[in-house]
Structure 1
Amino acid sequence: ELEDIIKAKGITGVLNGVEDIVKPDNEDLGLDVRYNASTLERKLEIKAAFQEAQGFEVNPATPLFVFMGRLDAQKGVDILFEAVDAVLQGGLDAQFVFMGSG
């Protein structure tokens, strides 16, 4: 059953919200590099690896915006796309990733 697989793999989902649980520093999150409040510089390593994996220009100064959710007006995606258009029209060099169904 799918529910058994989800439990066995430790998969969790957050419905219509943000998970507010802080993961312990020693928990495996599937990242080659991890960071916490005292090692924020490592966040740039993760960003660079993601940019490279996606075929983006690797540039720590380029803002990277990520949306993960249902691509539906109920989720405000129309507003999101208006904001993206404004960013691009304003000349900001930025990278965008949209993940979801819809």
Structure 2
Amino acid sequence: MNQQWLRVVIAAVFEVSWVIGLKHASTVWEWLATAVAIFISFYLLIKAGEHLPVGTVYAVFVGLGTAGTVCADSLLFGEPWKLAKIVCIIVLLLGVIGLKLVTGEKKEEGGHA
């Protein structure tokens, strides 16, 4: 996995954090942490989008964030697992993996890296 895709994965982890924060934050520090997670998430997403196709980056970001949020909700907050939910997460992750496998990096113009 190259550095840009790693940025997308880390951005998705921060997305899960801020989504949970939006629902559960109750103190100034929790809201501040949520805001920081939003900033980091979108910063990494934007930086990855400078080198990878933006549509694919966004789809992978949202897919990983969605799957991560559903899993975190069950693991951290006791949301029950259902077979349909598990199947949908697997299908979503297969789509994310497929997009990543068929997407290359953008060609840099003028030799800039």
Name the TM-score, length of structure 2 as normaliser. Answer: 0.29
Higher helix share: 2
Larger radius of gyration: 1
* Structure with the largest fraction of strand: 1
Whose relative contact order is higher, 1 or 2, with alpha carbons under 8 Å and at least 6 apart? 2
